[in-house]
Amino acid sequence: MEYHISDLDLPVEVVGALALPLPPSPHLAHPIKVIMEGYTTQLAVLQGIIEAEARSGGNISIILWRAEQIYRVRLSACSSIGTAWRKVPLELWDKVFRHYLAAIRGSGPVSDPFKRAKADPNKLAMFAPNTLSTVCKAWRSIVTSLSTLWTDITLLPMPVSESDTNRPPLLASADVVPVLTRLHRLTKQSLPWSLTIANGRPPQLLTANSIPFPLFLESQAALRFLACLCICATHHPLNLADMMIPSITSLVVDAGGPGFANIPNLPNLTKATLLNMVADVDSTTHTPWASLTHPFIGNHLNPQHVHTVLRMCPIL
């Protein structure tokens, strides 16, 4: 029989220690040791009663059997507080999970904007910390404690239809709930974060509860902490040109389609990565070319286009 932690009636000291990915502090270690000694004594008493019942030929009651099982599980829960994985520093766990996520995405480290722009968006969304935290209790405890793992978010907006490019794309309602949880966490802790906007699912998956993408983005309090924007949604316009996001300092655009039409107003931008630009660079865009200190241009621009970009970036 499996027991939830709420079924065990554990003291608050034990419940609190179980929720942390670290060993208990010295001032908690002694009370937990006393609690374990008490459970051990009570379990021995119960086992003596059960053995006496068995010798006398009586039926062991279900109540006694369940009580013994609960005390065993309580002791097991207390013992798990001192397991080896809790002794690994959180900084190392952070590196382990970041490497794990990057390996599954197949796109290199999350911090590399050039590789992130080429990542499979479905994998970026699928292996978010929300999913990792469901693997086991140990992973949930670790992932919940590592705020930095929650700062790389992918959204997959969908066009209203393949032919309608005038109306803003929509977010599926099923995708919004887990994202809202992460955005709330970022806002609460004032964490800088990065947003990847990739080509979404086909319009056939839209429902009546789908949300306009620009409206969803503008309504988020976490938007004021957004530091890096990666736009890979090249099949349809995103209708972001009327938005201003002063917090963004780094931009990645994979413009296989209407790239510059997707860029919001970024007055404090200093780094820009422009991939797959196949047309003339739009010098009328409100991207602050004059303030860029670290532009990166893909391989598809001819020398004339490169010269145009360099002229717009005088402080390189």
Total-model pTM: 0.65
Residue 126 has what pLDDT? 46
Does 128 have pLDDT greater than 60?
A: yes
Instruction: Compute CA distances 202 → 167, 230, 232, 254, 279, whole Å.
Output: 15, 21, 16, 20, 27
What distance in Å separates the CA atoms of residue 221 and residue 299, rounded to the nearest whole number?
Answer: 37
Q: How much is the pLDDT for 125?
A: 47
pLDDT at residue number 108: 42
**Measured distance CA(240)–CA(217) in Å, rounded:** 9
pLDDT for residue 299 is more than 60: yes
Check if the beta carbon of residue 130 is closer than 8 Å to that of residue 182: yes
Query: Tens digits of per-residue pLDDT, 18-51?
Result: 777 777 777 778 888 888 889 899 889 888 888 8
For residue 309, the model assigns a pLDDT of 72
pLDDT in tens, 64-106: 888 888 888 888 888 888 777 777 788 888 888 877 776 655 4
Compute CA distances 159 → 179, 236, 237, 238, 277, whole Å.
Answer: 19, 7, 8, 9, 22
Q: Is the pLDDT of residue 137 over 80?
A: no
What average pLDDT score do residues 173-196 get?
Answer: 85
CA dihedral 224, 227, 229, 230 (to 10 degrees): -150
Other Cβ atoms within 10 Å of 226 Cβ, number: 23
What pLDDT score does 25 carry? 75
